Amino acid sequence: MFKLLSFANAPAIVRANQKDSYFESRLHNQLLDVVKAIKGSHFVHKYPEELRTLATALYLCLTTLVGSKTLGEEYVDLVYVSRDGRKIPKFASRFGFVVAYVLFPYAVRQLLQKLKSQQSRLAQLVSGVSYMNVMDLLNLHLALFYFTGKYYQFAKRLFGLRYAFGYRVDKNQQGARGNYELLGLLIIFQTVFKNVANLRKLWGATETVQDSGDLIYRFRDQTSDVIDLADPKVLPYLPEASRTCMLCLSPMKDPSCGECGHVFCWKCVLDWVKERQECPLCRAKMRESQLLPLR
């Protein structure tokens, strides 16, 4: 039966993923409300990444993992087929996709964040270079999708989950490409130019010296380091009573403030203003573009 179905094109796949992103966001917001009612705002602001990952996992487990369509796939009428288009992907393939798509990126982000927070400059360098390499690979994979219309996510390519139209289509609709090749070219050019600029910056920002036979990396530019107010030597002009974030109740990291002057962790206040464009303390208007990092 499935050999009669036509593989989906890039415009249909993009529309399905846009719809899925919208419904994932709705589920994430509802999950935040439930967790906030049970555990409080402090828990929500302490684990934003984990809650977002949980929302994505719930969405995919309730749809793809059990063999149902996501709401985006239902909207465009897409079905999963194997690489050759003749079979329905087995549970093992769907399970592997969900794990790779949800948990692997989270684990990589946590690992890179731990490396970046270490005092070793070498660990921070490895973290920065690894992050750039991962993002570049994902961007190049996206460019490949725009050229071929196959596998919007890398995890789907890895486990062989392709999209096909759930209905008979004419040749004109199947061949519609939507000028996505231009987007692919732009991504490739952007990646190349960005890496050239990063290499020049890295060449000028690092130097190597030989000290007791060990290679030490010294950074002249320290602006990428995390500013942690747990260290009293960091931003010493801030009094001790003002160094705690009122959202996470921990010493601030990357302190930032709005026009009202109240200071919070950058990540905490950013997550807050995405939901409510007001200061958590005085309720003054606050937008993402108005947040000022303290250095």
Rounded CA-CA distance 119/271 in Å is: 27
Per residue in 65-87, pLDDT (tens digit) is 999 999 999 999 999 999 888 88
Q: In the prediction, which pLDDT does 91 show?
A: 94
> Which residues are paired to 62 by β-bridges?
none
Q: In the prediction, which pLDDT does 246 show?
A: 83
Domains parsed from the chain with CATH numbers: 2-199 (no CATH), 240-293 (3.30.40.10)
Beta-carbon contacts of residue 126 (< 8 Å; ≥ 6 apart): 115
Contact 198, 39 (CB under 8 A): no
What angle in degrees, to the nearest 10, is found between the helix axes of 180-205 and 121-148?
Answer: 160
Per residue in 193-212, pLDDT (tens digit) is 877 766 666 565 444 434 43
Confidence of residue 45 (pLDDT cuts 50, 70, 90): confident
Rounded CA-CA distance 46/249 in Å is: 9
Whole-angstrom CA distances from 145 to 11, 31, 65, 179, 262 are: 11, 32, 23, 12, 45
pLDDT at residue 25 tops 80: yes
Contact 42, 249 (CB under 8 A): yes
CA torsion through residues 262, 265, 270, 272, sign? negative
Instruction: Give all strands of the β-sheet with 263-265 in edge-to-edge order.
Output: 263-265, 255-257, 292-293
Supply angle C-alpha 32, 228, 249, rounded to 5. Answer: 40
Rounded CA-CA distance 290/262 in Å is: 12
Locate 214 and state its tokens: 């060990």
Helix, strand, coil percentages for the chain (3-state, nearest 5): 55, 10, 30
Q: Specify the range with the lowest mean pLDDT, choosing from 96-100, 148-152, 158-162, 291-295.
A: 291-295
Q: What amino acid is encoded at 265 in this protein?
A: C
> Which residues are paired to 264 by β-bridges?
256
Per residue in 115-134, pLDDT (tens digit) is 666 655 555 555 555 556 77
Provide Rg for the chain, Cα atoms: 23
Q: In the prediction, which pLDDT does 167 show?
A: 83
Confidence of residue 23 (pLDDT cuts 50, 70, 90): very high
Which has the closest alpha carbon to 265: 282, 280, 277, 283? Answer: 280
If residue 111 lies in a helix (H) or strand (E), which one and from where to where? helix 91-117
pTM: 0.65
To the nearest whole percent, how much of the chain has pLDDT over 70? 78
pLDDT at residue 158 tops 60: yes
Per residue in 248-290, pLDDT (tens digit) is 888 888 888 877 778 888 888 888 888 788 888 878 888 777 7
What average pLDDT does the structure give for the chain? 79
Rounded CA-CA distance 263/76 in Å is: 45
Rounded CA-CA distance 152/145 in Å is: 6
Beta-carbon contacts of residue 250 (< 8 Å; ≥ 6 apart): 46, 230, 244, 265
> Which residues are paired to 38 by β-bridges?
none
Between 122 and 191, name the one with better pLDDT: 191
Between 24 and 168, name the one with better pLDDT: 24
Rounded CA-CA distance 295/289 in Å is: 17
Q: In the prediction, which pLDDT does 233 show?
A: 79
